[in-house]
Structure 1
Amino acid sequence: MATPDPDPVSPRVTRLARGLKLGANSMLVTLFGDVVAPRPQAVWLGSLIRLAAPFGINDRLVRTATFRLTADDWLAATRIGRRSYYGLSEAGLQRVLHAGKRIYAGDAPEWDGRWTLVLVRGDVRATVRQRLKRELLWEGFGAIAPGVMAHPNADLASLREIIQAARAQEYVAVMEASSLEAFSLRPLQALMHQTFKLGDVADAWQALLRRFSPVAEEAAQLAPADAFFVRTLLVHEYRRVLLRDPNLPEVLLPADWPGRTARGMCSAVYGALLEASEAYLHGVVEVADGALVDAKRALRKRFTHA
């Protein structure tokens, strides 16, 4: 049985969130992706309220967000007595696992010069088109022309799942393309800069570094409640920037790309926070069946290639 918070989050640490707009829906997605996905369990609504409180999200907002996320097929609700428990739905788990491959995977693999192109038929229903585009953007694809999206290091298994989940198999063609050595790479680099708005992404990486670098050296010494807060906020903001970053190959990036430094910092800080933040979660989270599963072995594998 979880107990009341033995140590609230310190004001010094909560100041890290100053100036951020932390929505209830997106914060719960972060919590389920980082905390629940490695150990698929249903979490008591009261525990979700407790976890969200330090981020300025009250119980009413948590209740509304869980209702919406359940309606949008992110979460699955279970009722036991008078208590409601929420776990990831099958579709929600698929989404967070897809995102997790990018969030925790580290640097882009060696590039072979080939691109994966997704071509969408013009007569596809608007709802299918919108869902497909949203999921592909989360997967790191960029829209290079109307109905054409591209990725230099696409995960084909994830792409297949996305197309099937959108029920778009009859409306999507997937192709490979590669640059010809006889032509300059400069136009391609400029196209990538425009397509993925790399200037805006670089500014976002710099802002993340400014926010979290001051706490990096002391991360391993933080109290459990503070460690949980910093870990969750770090993943939340890192996810927000990374899902705008296509993780392009080195040859297509500027020499001073700040994403490299940001990834390294996030890897180090996340690892330093893991032990204490997990202790906090085991102390305050109640689940539908038994105790919160120990997932430290799986969690330590995150960012291992960053």
Structure 2
Amino acid sequence: MSSAHDCVVSLVDNFQKRHPIRAGSLIITIYGDSIAPRGGTVWLGSLSKLVAPIGINERLVRTSVYRLTQESWLQGEKVGRRSYYSLSGPGRRRFEQAFKRVYHGAQPSWSGQWTLVLLSQLDTARRQKVREELEWLGFGYFAQGLLAHPTLNRSEAMAALQEMDAADDTIILQTEAVEPLASKPLRRQVRESWNLESLAENYQRFLTQFRPLWKALDEENHLGEEECFIARTLLIHEYRKVQLRDPQLPDELLPTAWEGRNAYQLCRNIYRTIYQRAERWLDQHLETAEGPLPAPGNSFYQRFGGLE
């Protein structure tokens, strides 16, 4: 059996083999998982040293941070000769939206209602653009020009359409709950509209990638602080990538043996086991203009149902 150390080496190797290396995406993971709970600002030099063992050099960090700044995720400030980067206002909102689902887990019980958006009154080009945005929010394509969401309510859908300047040309309907909540044809429609088979395969890949680490940690939990930081970062990075494609459907509409539940449990188990050592590594190696990063806020300890 591989040791926990071997498993971390393997995870880093797998990350480095991908071309091109998406350094910006990994930096977003680090900001969301490690830096945002501690005030959200960090010296660029300490960030570069932090990611070097994962295979991201200083030049790539600078390029990626510059791009994230141009895209309004981050904002920079010069203090003397050093540059410090923090989450921008829009960036913080996007971080919260993107990462909330990663640590949340179980969905609240479903009312059985559906929010329907009819795009038939939009011209073809705008219809495609609005459809793509709604699908990113978790809507499923039910029929020509018709999208549906089981948990996003009418006012939330309206707010999203207003942001796209499409609210005046779309029709929003909300259905009443009927029994049974998830009939056989409805479950078939859900499988097709959200391509659950493909999503399950992505979750299965995540499970295959990280189960050896959990097994090794269960046998001998001797990872050092830096290895725990690397493992935690790659764990959340890979889990977040699958989560971005997950519409977060209610349990009633999902298959009985749903891989997403297993993936959440695995991610939670590993995170709870290694997060404290990773935090100690961050204490020692990340800096703000005032010195070490502040301690994480209370919301950090509510992740995955509560960190011990």
- TM-score (structure 1 length as normaliser): 0.83
Which blocks of at least 5 consecutive residues in structure 2 are unaligned?
none
Alignment partner, residue 213 of structure 1: 211
| In 2: Cα distance, 1:214 partner to 1:13 partner | 10
| In 2: Cα distance, 1:173 partner to 1:305 partner | 41
| In 2: Cα distance, 1:184 partner to 1:294 partner | 45
- Taking the TM superposition and a 5 Å limit, the aligned residue runs for 1:32-181 are 32-119=31-118, 122-123=122-123, 130=129, 136-145=134-143, 148-154=146-152, 162-163=160-161, 166=164, 170=168, 174-178=172-176, 180-181=178-179
Which blocks of at least 5 consecutive residues in structure 1 are unaligned?
1-8
Alignment partner, residue 234 of structure 1: 235
| In 2: Cα distance, 1:116 partner to 1:67 partner | 39
Deviates further, 139-148 or 210-219: 139-148
Structure with the higher helix share, 1 or 2: 2
| In 2: Cα distance, 1:31 partner to 1:195 partner | 32
What is the SS of the residue equivalent to 2:84? strand
What is the SS of the residue equivalent to 2:111? coil
Alignment partner, residue 271 of structure 2: 270
Structure with larger Rg: 2
| Cα distance, 1:194 vs structure 2 | 1.6
Q: Contact conserved, 2:42 with 2:86, CA < 8 A, in 1?
A: yes
- TM-score (structure 2 length as normaliser): 0.83
| Cα distance, 1:122 vs structure 2 | 1.5
Residues 27 and 106 from structure 1, CA distance in 2 versus in 1: closer, same or farther, beyond 3 angstroms?
same
Aligned residues: 296
| Cα distance, 1:302 vs structure 2 | 0.7
Alignment partner, residue 192 of structure 2: 194
Residues 118 and 17 from structure 1, CA distance in 2 versus in 1: closer, same or farther, beyond 3 angstroms?
farther
| In 2: Cα distance, 1:258 partner to 1:174 partner | 32
What is the SS of the residue equivalent to 1:114? coil
Alignment partner, residue 249 of structure 1: 250
Specify the code of the residue in structure 1 equivalent to 2:52.
A
Q: Contact conserved, 1:76 with 1:86, CA < 8 A, in 2?
A: yes
What is the SS of the residue equivalent to 2:303? coil
